[in-house]
């Protein structure tokens, strides 16, 4: 999913895209909280199934399903300082659009994963028209710790607690790294049955050896149940 400004024209979502998200239930998607902080639900649309979000040549709408966000539900249960928010969609999505998820990955994190998004290129620092995929591998603990020490101000601005479990990873050889604008997008396993286990959160930089930090998914059904009480 791409998160776009509701005001973005139907034939050109490029300038209106600002983050990613992933559908986890028919009426719910997850994104990074810092993507939607200080925004109203009515100002955000999700776009599902798009690839190229730049202007169409015939003036028609960018391919994909565009849905209004009805409500923003911040923070996972028991994690008031997490950088995750739940988006309730105005219209439910079809079952084939819902990601298969893995919510116990923080106990036994995968060695490899793939992220997806339309964010900045680490080379040109320009946004991408087409959906990009990033091959990632779990980083060495020392590099992860050094990254945390170098970026305390950024963590504070995102209100991220060091107690929140996150996957620390770098780009695999030959792959670009995630960057600005990829936040909120999915990170999924690379095996025969791929499942989303985290969302793109923040990073020390966009270089291939710069560690990125990806928030593990919580118990989604518990979160939804609590949000309805």
187 and 210 share a domain?
yes
- pTM of the full structure: 0.91
Residues of the chain with pLDDT under 70: 75-81, 123, 155, 158-163, 229
* Per-residue model confidence (pLDDT) at position 83: 86
Do residue 81 and residue 124 come from a single domain?
no
Same domain, 140 and 171: yes
Q: Is residue 197 part of a domain?
A: yes
- List the CATH number of the domain containing 190: 2.40.10.10
Residues 127 and 204 in one domain: yes
Predicted pLDDT at 181: 94
Instruction: Kindly state whether residue 103 falls inside one of the protein's structural domains.
Output: no
| 119 and 211 part of one domain | yes
Residue span of the structural domain in which 157 resides: 112-216
Sheet with 44-48, strands from edge to edge, namely 17-20, 2-5, 44-48, 65-74, 84-89, 28-32, 22-25
Domain for residue 16, yes or no? Answer: yes
Answer yes or no: are the C-beta atoms of 219 and 102 closer than 8 Å.
no
So what's the pLDDT on residue 76?
61
Do 121 and 88 fall into the same domain? no
102 falls within a domain: no
- Confirm whether 226 is domain-assigned: no
User: What span, in angstroms and rounded, lies between the C-alpha atoms of 70 and 35?
Assistant: 16
What is the domain count for the chain? Answer: 2
The answer on 128 and 77 residing in a single domain is no
* Res 194: pLDDT: 93
Same domain, 92 and 130: no
């Amino acid at each position: 999913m791409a998160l776009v400004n509701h005001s973005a024209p139907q034939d050109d979502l490029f300038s209106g895209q600002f983050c990613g998200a992933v559908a986890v239930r028919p009426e719910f998607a997850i994104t990074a909280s810092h993507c939607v902080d200080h925004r109203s639900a009515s100002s955000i649309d999700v776009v599902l199934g798009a690839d190229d979000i730049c202007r169409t040549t015939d003036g028609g709408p960018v391919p994909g399903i565009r849905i209004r966000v009805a409500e923003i539900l911040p923070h996972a249960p028991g994690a008031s300082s997490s950088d995750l928010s739940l988006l309730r969609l105005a219209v439910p999505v079809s079952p084939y659009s819902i990601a298969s998820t893995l919510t116990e990955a923080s106990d036994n994190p995968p060695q490899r994963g793939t992220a997806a998004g339309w964010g900045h290129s680490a080379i040109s620092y320009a946004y991408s028209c087409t959906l990009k995929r990033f091959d990632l591998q779990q980083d060495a603990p020392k590099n992860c710790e050094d990254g945390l020490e170098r970026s305390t101000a950024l963590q504070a601005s995102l209100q991220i607690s060091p107690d929140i479990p996150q996957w620390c990873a770098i780009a695999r050889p030959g792959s670009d790294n995630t960057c600005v604008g990829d936040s909120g997008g999915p990170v999924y396993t690379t095996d025969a049955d791929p499942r989303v286990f985290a969302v793109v959160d923040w990073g020390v930089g966009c270089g291939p050896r710069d560690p990125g930090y990806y928030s593990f998914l919580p118990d989604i059904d518990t979160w939804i149940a609590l949000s309805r009480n």
